[in-house]
Amino acid sequence: MSSKQKFVYSFGGGTAEGKGEQKALLGGKGANLAEMARLGLPVPPGFTITTEVCTWFYDHGKSYPKGLEKEVAAHLGRIERQLGRKFGDPLQPLLVSVRSGARASMPGMMDTILNLGLNDRTVEGLAKGSNNPRFAWDCYRRFVAMYGDVVLDLKPVDKRERDPFEVILEKKKHARGVKLDTELPVDALKELVREFKAEIRKRTGHSFPDDPMEQLWGAVGAVFGSWMNERAIVYRQLNAIPSDWGTAVNVQSMVFGNLGDDCGTGVAFTRDPATGEDVFYGEYLINAQGEDVVAGVRTPQKIATLKDRMPAIYRQLLEIRKTLESHYRDMQDIEFTVERGKLYMLQTRTGKRTGFAEVRIAVEMAEEKLITPEEAVLRVNPDSLNQLLRPIFDPAKKREAIEGGKFLTRGLNAGPGAASGRIVFLAGDAFEWAARGEKVLLVREETSPEDIKGMNASEGILTARGGMTSHAALVGRQMGKVCVVGCESIHVDARARTMVVKGKTFREGDWISIDGTTGEVIEGKVATMPSEVLQVLLEKTLDPRKSHVYHRYAKLMGWADAARRLKVRANADQPDQASNAVAFGGEGIGLCRTEHMFFGEGRIVAMREMILADTVEEREKALAKILPMQREDFIGIFRAMGPRPVTIRTLDPPLHEFLPHTPAEQEEVAKQSGIPVEKIARKVADLHEMNPMLGHRGCRLGIIFPEITKMQARAILEAACRVRKEKIAATPEIMIPLVGHVRELEDQTQLVRDVAEEVFRAEGIKVPYLVGTMIELPRAAVTADEIATVAEFFSFGTNDLTQTTFGLSRDDSGKFLPEYVRREILPADPFEKLDQGGVGKLMAWGVTWGRVTRPNLKVGICGEHGGEPSSVEFCHRTKLDYVSCSPFRIPIARLAAAQAALKEKAAEKAAKKKAKKPAKKAAPRRKAAKRKGARRR
Ligand code: ADP
Ligand code: MG
Ligand code: MG
């Protein structure tokens, strides 16, 4: 860091040195304070110490760069001149807040210190200046406690311990015979300050710092220090925020919402963060300071009521709402304070929202022309679509429960959806129970950042206190949890692990249900039903014109479809799944597994006969029984899919999977089939494999038992011919699994082609069809050029390809893989997110070399990864033709595919722009970039 570097940026008074886009340098809070000041909004003046100082701090044994102190002093001086107050001045003291602010907002992660600059002298100045000694001493005692907690580390780490300042406060109230803090007279507040300071001396061995400068630097150090506290670290891990980003520190002159009834503080959203509705949404408290609203200490008032309480302020807020939305072009989450009838803006940021709201806001903003449809597509996290597809309570069952007296209470509907679960009271328990496979609802007085792990593990969250902007609501929404907050009639005793509602006591493990759309809390388990989107698409019980949720979903998906290049198919084994796939927008079937068809009624018997057969004739006889059933299945699937391509995989799993394993089951099968039980037991033993994943399975079955492949090819092609005769353009793609050598594929392909000739001759028509292979062994990927001489298409079976590339069995990985991820040996579970660096490289190689041999080679993916957004993006970049995933993930894949295409477009545009810019210095770099691009191609 050179000595000329700027460490501090000012804001306020209609201007700012920084800008909104400098989030990396100024943190989100600082950058937006600067931006609001530039917009001419009333922002109390202050300054931001950059994130680079934080990084420097940690790189240099927690010390500060030279020159920082001087810069801070200069900026403080600027504020002093602007406000006509002085830091530490006994008559006109300047007070400040010290606020952390990382690049990405981390709610509740780091604590703000208010009223800094107070000591025994300045408090008198504040008292005189405000003509309100009670207010001054109240600020002072809050400051000492906050400073003690945050900077001097007296805040209890353990939930069972109590905050030492709260204990003293409780005692004081008891001694004075009052209930509320606000009832304490000035002399009691003065005593509190003395007692708080004595407590600090007792616990730390040091006196409370009276010098405002010392206070300021203590607070700055604490903000930087908190970047590495455990809560912050956990949050960063959960949200994939790198630790080297660092936090900025904002020092801002104080404004007071607690000077009387013409004062207050509030938090608001420019649109409803739960539903996305275009209304001004928020809460405020009269005569209150800072965190009071967010902390859920008092349940605040709805913002709409401010219209009557403070009409001018309300009008001004509505103006600001408009200004901010049209400037940021997104929903904002704002914090404001009113001091003696004057409004101040203290924060704005892009608001967190539910998946419902995410879709609604994106679509409506595009309809309002505030953003483009492409931007709307980019704004919705594909996984958020899950919320639109998530179950709701079955209204009949819910009414029944309510009429049966099961309704308990109603809270605020902070996170929509329906959840039933067993009550737990501690976040740690929620985590443990969920790990055991229990469905849990976390019930708490209010949540705090320590609870995030447990919240993440719960089906839903229920709190007794706090509003729509409380921690539980904010974080729950972000996690997409069903969430009901501020249920005042619930009494939670976490220590006793009980919850009392309407005189009824509930204990840990009891079932309750919460409706995050209405705020209702219901005793017991309530049955759920499909969401509105599913009711329109799958159940067809809801008229699409009657569902706003569906309308917005359809609009967004339409824009996504217009933007994407990748096609999206479904993994579907049965006609009903195939219809679902079409309803969700599937453009074909990427994987139809035939083995699932063998488990149906009556079929498994024939299948077992086939496996137990000793001769080819016996086997063919059994297969002949299966043939018509398979054909019927395919007919059903082709009818459902119409002209869309259907990729059908020939038999893949090891045969022993179809046989009974326990003696009792073997006895049963013997009885049904008339085959002696000894023979069955012997065959099971024969088929036993040491390592079935790598054993006699995939195409190896069809090579040893060609009659199986022949029967399946016949069933597929006969079905296609018959459906074609119904004027449905069935388009089969026959896929041979687990090929490692091109000769294996040649063998199987020949069988299929021979059968096809026979079938077409017999049926009297021809059906276009393809024969291709799954690429799920590294050898297949590496020899893609050879394999493509035979294969007309590839489909990457990334489940097996991941297993075989890592040489690890997915079924056995549970013992160590989670630990790998926890210790960051692997960045993620490679069975969830495609391992782009390894498995992905094999894929890229396979695509490239496959197309060298056969330029029009069709390539897809059919592993679980086909519905995971980051993997879909990879498939787009790797120039696959389609991804295939479970029907319910199709919308997610469509959106992810569109985003991948739009991001690519934006990157190309940016690259072009950069290439055009005639800059002297950029020339060599541009060459380097070109070279890189060439290599990639
Ligand atoms: P968080 O990141 O947890 O939201 P903030 O830094 O925004 O923390 O501070 C929390 C609250 O403290 C703010 O919402 C605001 O009400 C209050 N606050 C912060 N700075 C000031 C200030 N300069 N004057 C008055 N209130 C302030
Ligand atoms: Mg804030
Ligand atoms: Mg496989």
DSSP 150-183: HTS--S-SSTTS--HHHHHHHHHHHHHT-SSGGG
Query: Cα(13) to centroid of ligand 1, in Å?
Result: 18
Q: How far is the CA of 632 from the centre of ligand 2 (A)?
A: 62
- Name the residue with the closest Cα to ligand 1, atom 12: 290
Q: How far is CA 401 from CA 326, 360, 409, 513, in A?
A: 45, 31, 13, 10
Half-sphere exposure of 761 (CA within 13 A, CB side): 6
The helix-helix angle for 212-226 and 51-59 (nearest 10°) equals 80
Nearest atom in ligand 1 to 99's CA? 6
DSSP 649: E
Most informative mutation of 337, 342, 343 for ligand 1 (most atoms within 8 A of CB): 337
Give the neighbor-by-neighbor strand order of the sheet with 460-463.
Answer: 407-410, 520-523, 511-515, 418-424, 440-444, 460-463, 482-485, 412-415
The residue-averaged pLDDT of 798-819 equals 89
pLDDT of residue 297: 62
What angle separates helix 616-641 from helix 603-612, to the nearest 10 degrees? 140
Question: Tokens in use for 876?
Answer: 């787009």
Q: Which two tokens stand for residue 736?
A: 């041979």
Between 11 and 14, whose confidence is greater?
Answer: 11
Res 289 pLDDT > 90: no
Confidence class for position 61, pLDDT limits 50, 70, 90: very high
The answer to whether 685 and 730 are in contact (CB under 8 A) is no
Pocket test of ligand 1: the residue of 11, 346, 448, 475 to mutate, having most ligand atoms within 8 Å of its CB, is 346
What mean pLDDT is predicted for residues 194-207? 96
Query: Can you tell me the distance from the alpha carbon of 346 to that of 290, in angstroms, rounded to the nearest whole number?
Result: 10
Distance of CA 734 to the CA centre of its chain: 37
Q: What is the three-class DSSP state of 764?
A: coil
Indicate whether 637 pLDDT > 90. yes
Q: What share of the chain is helix, strand, coil (3-state, %, to 5)?
A: 50, 15, 30
Please report, as a single letter, which amino acid is at residue 538.
L
List active site positions: 471, 862
| 505 and 499 Cβ atoms separated by less than 8 Å | yes
Cα 235 to middle of ligand 2, angstroms: 17
Say if CB 470 and CB 448 are below 8 A apart. Answer: no
Greater model confidence, 293 or 139: 139
Nearest CA to ligand 1 atom 6: 99
Arithmetic mean of pLDDT, 161-181: 91
Maximal C-alpha separation, the chain:
107
Residue 783, phi then psi, degrees to nearest 5: -105, 30
Distance from C-alpha of 926 to C-alpha of 929, rounded to nearest angstrom:
5
Query: pLDDT tier at 860 (50, 70, 90 boundaries)?
Result: very high
Average pLDDT score over residue span 856-869: 94
- Nearest CA, atom 11, ligand 1: 290
pLDDT tens string 734-747: 999 999 999 999 99
pLDDT of residue 275: 85
Tokens of 465: 């206190």
What's the mean pLDDT in 372-376? 98
Q: How far is the CA of 37 from the centre of ligand 2 (A)?
A: 16
pLDDT of 4 strictly over 80? no
| CA-110 nearest atom, ligand 1 | 3
Q: Which of 375, 380, 383 is nearest to 903 (CA)?
A: 375
Tokens found for residue 87: 């830091």
Ligand 1 pocket test target in 32, 83, 99, 226 with most atoms within 8 Å of CB: 99
600 pLDDT more than 90: no
pLDDT exceeds 60 at position 1: no
What value does the mean pLDDT take over residues 508-513?
Answer: 96
pLDDT at 228: 87
Residue 152 in contact with residue 204, Cβ under 8 Å?
yes
Question: Closest Cα to residue 19, out of 1, 40, 4, 37?
Answer: 37
User: What are the phi and psi torsion angles at 587 (to 5°)?
Assistant: -105, 20
Does pLDDT of 929 surpass 90? no
The ligand placed nearest to the CA atom of residue 864 is 3
The answer to whether 118 touches 214, Cβ cutoff 8 Å, is no
Cβ–Cβ under 8 Å, residues 465 and 492: no
The answer to whether 447 and 472 are in contact (CB under 8 A) is yes
Residue 529 has pLDDT above 90, yes or no: no
Is the pLDDT confidence value at 588 over 60?
A: yes
Give the number of whichever ligand sits closest to the CA of residue 110: 1
Alpha-carbon gap, residue 61 to 828, rounded angstroms: 32
Q: Decide if pLDDT at 934 tops 50.
A: no
Instruction: Please name the residue ranges forming H helices in 60-163.
Output: 68-83, 122-130, 133-150
Length of the chain: 937
Distances (CA, A) of 552 to 360, 545, 622, 679: 6, 11, 52, 60
Q: Which of 588, 590, 573 is nearest to 633 (CA)?
A: 573
Cβ within 8 Å of residue 776, ≥6 positions away: 737, 738, 796, 797, 798, 799, 800, 801, 804
Q: Which atom of ligand 1 is found nearest the CA of 265?
A: 16
At 455-507, the pLDDT tens digits run 989 999 999 987 776 778 877 776 768 999 989 899 999 999 999 998 999 99
Report pLDDT for 918: 62
Q: What is the pLDDT of residues 782-791, one digit of tens each?
A: 999 999 999 9
Q: State pLDDT tens for residues 14-30.
A: 899 999 999 999 999 99
Instruction: Pull the structure tokens for residue 765.
Output: 């028509």
pLDDT averaged over every residue in the chain = 91
Sign, CA dihedral 255-259-262-267, equals positive
Task: Tell me the β-bridge partners of 264.
Answer: 286, 338
Average pLDDT of the segment spanning 145-151: 93
Q: What is the mean pLDDT of residues 47-52?
A: 97
Segment (H or E) for 373: helix 373-379
Instruction: For residue 296, name the pLDDT band (cuts at 50, 70, 90).
Output: low
CA distances 878 to 53, 682, 842, 900, Å, are 40, 48, 11, 11
Tokens of 445: 């007085």
pLDDT exceeds cutoff 80 at 515 = yes
The string of pLDDT tens digits covering residues 415-425 is: 878 999 999 99
Ligand 1: atom nearest CA of 294 is 14
Ligand 1 centre to CA of 346 (Å) is 7
Query: What is the average pLDDT across 637-654?
Result: 96
Write the residue with the smallest CA distance to atom 18 of ligand 1: 290
Across the range 656-680, mean pLDDT stands at: 87
> Hey, is 413 helix, strand or coil?
strand
Closest CA to 483 of 594, 573, 355: 355
- The residue that leads in pLDDT, 133 or 529, is 133
Closest C-alpha to ligand 1, atom 24: 254
**335 vs 294 pLDDT, higher one:** 335
Which residues contact residue 707 at a Cβ distance below 8 angstroms, ignoring those fewer than 6 apart? 616, 619, 620, 623
How far, in Å, CA of 533 to CA of 389, rounded?
6
Question: For residue 441, is pLDDT > 70?
Answer: yes
Ligand nearest to the CA of 693: 3
User: Among 106, 110, 114, 251, which residue has the most ligand 1 atoms within 8 Å of its CB, making it the best to mutate?
Assistant: 114
Q: Please, which pLDDT band fits residue 922 given cuts at 50, 70 and 90? A: very low
Provide the pLDDT for residue 936.
36
**What does the alpha-carbon distance between residue 79 and residue 919 come to, in Å, rounded to a whole number?**
40
Q: So what's the pLDDT on residue 864?
A: 81
What is the CA(17)–ligand 2 centre distance, in A? 21
Residue 678: C-alpha distances to residues 612, 663, 668 (Å): 12, 10, 12
Q: Could you give the CA distance from residue 315 to residue 560 in angstroms, rounded to a whole number?
A: 38
d(CA 48, CA 514): 42
**In contact, 888 and 389? CB cutoff 8 Å:** yes
Question: Residue 578 C-alpha to ligand 3 middle, in angstroms?
Answer: 20
Rounded distance from Cα 251 to ligand 2 centre (Å): 13
Instruction: Give the residues surrounding ligand 1 with Cβ less than 6 Å away.
Output: 44, 97, 99, 108, 112, 114, 252-255, 265, 290-291, 335, 337, 346-347
Index of the ligand 1 atom closest to the CA of residue 335 = 14
Helix, strand or coil for residue 409?
Answer: strand
Torsional sign, CA 824, 825, 831, 836: positive
Ligand nearest to the backbone CA of 336 = 1
Q: Which atom of ligand 1 is nearest to the CA of 44?
A: 23
With the C-alpha atoms ordered 68, 70, 76, 82, is the resulting torsion angle positive or negative?
Answer: negative
Beta bridge partners of 409: 521
- Phi, psi for residue 107 in degrees, rounded to 5: -55, 130
Return residues with CB closer than 5 A to ligand 3 (ion): 776, 797, 800
Percent of the chain with pLDDT over 70: 96
pLDDT (0 to 100) of residue 781: 98
Type of residue numbered 454:
G
Q: Which residues contact 586 (CB under 8 A, 6 or more apart)?
A: 568, 569, 570, 572, 644, 887, 890
Neighbours of 888 (CB within 10 A): 18
Structure confidence at residue 927 as a pLDDT band (50, 70, 90): very low
Phi, psi of 879 (to 5 degrees): 65, 35
Q: How far apart are CA 667 and CA 681, in angstroms?
A: 9
Q: Residues 6 or more apart from 239 whose CB is under 8 A from it?
A: 104, 106
799 C-alpha to ligand 3 centroid (Å): 7
Least confident of 99-108, 119-128, 315-324, 509-518: 99-108
Gap between the Cα atoms of 519 and 487, Å rounded: 9
**Which ligand sits closest to the CA of 775?**
3
- Structural tokens at position 458: 């719960």
